Amino acid sequence: MKYTVKIVFFIVTLFVLSDVEAHFELLNPPPRGPFDENLLSISPCASYNSTNTSAITTFPLNGQATSKFEDGDGNFVYRYALTSNATFTNVCSNITLSTTDTYPKQITTQLDLTLASAKAGDQGVLQAYYVSNNGNESWYQCADIKVVAASSAPTIAIGSVMFYTILAVILMTNGHDYKF
């Protein structure tokens, strides 16, 4: 019993005093290479520093990127540059992650590539970048993108209830009386 209490106390103390770092994965646009947690700390693109020509994704000047986080206590931002060797520029505000957040979670962020002077037709690198609050960890992932003009059509996301409601209204206004 005496040793059990000491072991539990040691484990709890170790957990409380340990640094909490982020474990994240760039989901969209797709990253240059396969996810490997052991490579995330290698700047600028988790060791995938060459363009992956088979993974170039079209991305609008004002598009959205999504990353998944397992934990974290720091800041996260998306940055853009024409090549991996160029200086990356922030294309969104910092996203703060805290140990009090509920994990895992996906975060979709609106990006403005014009903040990095990108224009339609450019091919460049979108970098997902995390730095811990204590400054001990920096993690990177990159995606190769082909910049396209911002879409003029609004994106509409509707749930299944809304879909069937709209469908019923359309069918009833055309003289049909369908029950769902």
Give the whole-angstrom CA distance, residue 124 versus residue 111.
14
Four-residue CA torsion sign, 64, 65, 70, 75? negative
Average of per-residue pLDDT values in the chain: 78
Q: What is the pLDDT of residue 157?
A: 40
Query: For residue 153, what is the domain's CATH number?
Result: 2.60.40.2550
Work out the average pLDDT over 114-143: 93
Residue 8 lies in a domain: no
Query: Which percentage of the chain shows pLDDT scores above 70?
Result: 71
Question: 34: domain range?
Answer: 20-173
Q: What is the pLDDT of residue 86?
A: 94
Number of structural domains in the chain: 1
At residue 154 the predicted structure's pLDDT band, cuts being 50, 70 and 90, is: very low
Q: Is the pLDDT of residue 60 over 50?
A: yes
Residue 15 lies in a domain: no
Residue 142 lies in a domain: yes
pTM above 0.75, yes or no: no
Name the 3-class secondary structure at 141: strand
Residue 4 lies in a domain: no
At residue 124 the predicted structure's pLDDT band, cuts being 50, 70 and 90, is: very high
